[in-house]
């Protein structure tokens, strides 16, 4: 005997559907807020960079990169760490959804940028880790700051967490190589490579210190402003305008 009743798709549970819709809305909001927070930090860094260049004719920042963790990678970390699957718990416990990495020319610049950024009144510092003064056992060096920054939405300001990493070019070069090696060996890096990486981290530090010494020797310790050829021109112009205004009065 054949069953002639037409087959229909199983009826989706409306509660489940509503739950899935809510989750999707919440997570895309979470993602968007972190994108805005990254934009805020990038604007702050760009202002610092341009102001520094204007005041001292010197740019302490070589380059800046940023990323917001993908939804997949957020869920992977949440599951791995046993964090509740609620946006609130994720906001509190996952502090690296938004990341900004600032690569500086010299070690002194890394501290200068960290201090300037974290002392801004709208920035709330949650945690600072100084892996330059206290490197990780593998040789990793960097300054890490976990900050909360307000993002102004139509409903009002929302504090959003951003992980800021600040390091020199040499430290950045080392970290990207170490990262590749770590992934290639799935975390089980052979001993001889670990030792080589430690040596390379020391060599990178020596290079940083020598380059900084050279830089200080050439520029001096103070923030000396090199002569600007347009300054003379401006002085002449101001003098002319002043004389004119004297004649007129
Ligand atoms: P997470 O589990 O990712 O938070 O790492 P963690 O808690 O061991 O380190 P921490 O919070 O101090 O640093 C977070 C981020 O710094 C990482 O996601 C990396 O981007 C970077 N980092 C930390 N340690 C290392 C390291 O040994 N090598 C490299 N290449 N990067 C590191
Ligand atoms: Mg961490």
Q: What is the DSSP letter of 12?
A: P
- Give the position of tokens 């204007």: 54
- pLDDT per residue as tens, the chain (249 positions): 455 566 666 777 888 888 889 888 988 999 999 999 999 999 999 999 999 999 988 889 999 999 999 989 998 999 999 999 888 899 999 999 999 999 999 999 999 999 999 999 999 999 999 999 999 999 999 999 999 999 999 999 999 999 999 999 999 999 999 999 999 999 899 999 999 999 999 999 999 999 999 998 888 765 555 555 566 667 777 788 888 888 887
- Note the pTM of the prediction, 2 decimals: 0.84
Q: Is residue 34 part of a domain?
A: yes
| Ligand 1 atom at shortest distance from the alpha carbon of 175 | 30
Proximal ligand: closest to the CA of 137: 1
Q: Is residue 126 part of a domain?
A: yes
- Domain count for the chain, please give it: 1
Q: How far is the CA of 132 from the centre of ligand 2 (A)?
A: 16
Does ligand 1 have an atom closer than 6 angstroms to the CB of 243?
no
Q: Is residue 234 part of a domain?
A: no
| Ligand 1 atom at shortest distance from the alpha carbon of 174 | 30
Tell me the CATH number at 24: 3.30.460.10
Q: Is residue 63 part of a domain?
A: yes
- Between CA 94 and CA 112 the distance in angstroms is 27
Residue nearest to atom 24 of ligand 1 (CA): 140
CA quadruple 165, 168, 170, 171: dihedral sign: negative
Q: Is residue 194 part of a domain?
A: yes
Residue nearest to atom 31 of ligand 1 (CA): 175
Q: How far is the CA of 213 from the centre of ligand 1 (A)?
A: 29
Q: Is residue 227 part of a domain?
A: no
Record the tokens describing residue 112, joined without a space.
């200068």
Proximal ligand: closest to the CA of 131: 1
Does ligand 1 have an atom closer than 6 angstroms to the CB of 173?
no
Which residues are known catalytic residues? Answer: 163
Phi, psi of 59 (to 5 degrees): -110, 110
Q: Give me the domain span that covers residue 95.
A: 19-222
């Amino acid at each position: 005997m054949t069953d002639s009743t037409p087959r229909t798709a199983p009826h989706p549970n409306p509660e489940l559907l509503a739950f899935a819709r809510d989750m999707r809305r919440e997570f895309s909001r979470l993602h968007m807020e972190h994108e805005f927070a990254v934009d805020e930090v990038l604007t702050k860094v760009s202002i610092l960079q341009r102001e520094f260049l204007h005041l001292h004719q010197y740019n302490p920042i070589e380059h800046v990169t940023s990323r917001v963790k993908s939804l997949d990678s957020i869920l992977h970390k949440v599951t791995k760490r046993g964090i509740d699957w609620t946006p609130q718990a994720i906001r509190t416990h996952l502090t690296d959804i938004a990341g900004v990495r600032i690569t500086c020319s010299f070690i002194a610049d890394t501290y200068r940028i960290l201090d300037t950024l974290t002392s801004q009144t709208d920035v709330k510092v949650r945690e600072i880790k100084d892996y330059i003064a206290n490197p990780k056992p593998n040789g990793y060096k960097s300054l890490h700051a976990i900050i909360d920054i307000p993002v102004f939405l139509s409903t009002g300001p929302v504090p959003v967490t951003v992980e800021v990493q600040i390091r020199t070019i040499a430290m950045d070069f080392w970290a990207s190589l170490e990262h590749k090696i770590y992934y290639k060996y799935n975390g089980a890096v052979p001993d001889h490579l670990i030792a080589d990486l430690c040596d390379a981290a020391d060599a990178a530090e020596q290079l940083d210190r020598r380059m900084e010494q050279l830089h200080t020797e050439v520029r001096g310790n103070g923030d000396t402003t090199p002569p600007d050829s347009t300054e003379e021109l401006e002085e002449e112009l101001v003098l002319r305008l002043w004389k004119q205004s004297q004649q007129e009065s």
